[in-house]
């Protein structure tokens, strides 16, 4: 898994400094989603600022995406390809991606006639996954 991330990174970011490589390797070891704080806590040899900067870099490169959990905490996870959103289970914390977003059209409609240029949107969907009693039809 580290090699997959490294390959995706190499294609987009070019060379990484040694400390950033430590952060990338730690990201590759994560299962599911994680917070920047937890990652930084596990990497005492790397400065917090470096951890945060590298996460930002990985996010901008499309390797990671940010997920706003229902409790307001911001988590990171390996990103699926392209524009997508997340189905977040509030019981077990499992996150699933979904694409086929139709928000852009709605937002463009909302912004119509207002002095506002839309540059993006953020949407998370909270609920229960199948394993937590969610209704899978």
Q: Which is nearer to Zn ion, 44 or 120 (CB)?
A: 120
State yes or no: residue 129 binds Zn ion (CB under 5 A).
Answer: yes
Please tell me the count of residues contacting Zn ion according to CB under 5 A: 10
Name, in order, each residue with C-beta under 8 angstroms of 116's C-beta and a sequence gap of 6 or more. none
Which one of 5-13, 17-25, 30-38, 129-137 is the stretch in contact with Zn ion (CB under 5 A)? Answer: 129-137
Binding residues for Zn ion restricted to 15-74, rule: CB under 5 A: 65
Q: What's the CA gap between 69 and 126, in Å, rounded?
A: 8
Q: Which is nearer to Zn ion, 41 or 132 (CB)?
A: 132
Q: What's the CA gap between 114 and 33, in Å, rounded?
A: 37
Q: Which is nearer to Zn ion, 116 or 126 (CB)?
A: 126
Binding residues for Zn ion restricted to 64-103, rule: CB under 5 A: 65, 79, 89, 91-92, 94, 101, 103
Q: Which is nearer to Zn ion, 53 or 134 (CB)?
A: 134
Do the strands 124-127 and 85-89 form a parallel or antiparallel pair, or are they unpaired?
parallel
Integer angstrom CA distances of residue 121 from 79, 117, 118: 16, 12, 8
Place of tokens 């499992």: 94
Bridge partners for 88 per DSSP: 95, 126
Q: At closest approach, how far in Å is the CB of 71 from Zn ion?
A: 15
Binding site for Zn ion (CB under 5 A): 65, 79, 89, 91-92, 94, 101, 103, 129, 132
């Amino acid at each position: 898994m580290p090699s997959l991330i490294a390959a995706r990174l190499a294609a987009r970011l070019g060379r990484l400094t040694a400390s950033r490589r430590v952060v990338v390797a730690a990201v590759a070891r994560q299962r599911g989603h994680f917070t920047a704080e937890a990652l930084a806590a596990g990497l005492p040899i790397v400065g917090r600022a470096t951890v945060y900067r590298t996460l930002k870099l990985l996010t901008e490169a499309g390797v990671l995406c940010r997920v706003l959990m229902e409790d307001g905490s911001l988590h990171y996870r390996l990103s699926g390809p392209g524009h997508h959103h997340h189905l977040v289970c509030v019981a077990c914390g499992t996150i699933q991606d979904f694409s086929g977003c139709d928000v852009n059209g709605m937002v463009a409609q909302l912004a119509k006639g207002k002095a506002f240029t839309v540059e993006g949107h953020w949407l998370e969907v909270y609920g229960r996954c199948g394993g937590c009693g969610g209704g899978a039809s």
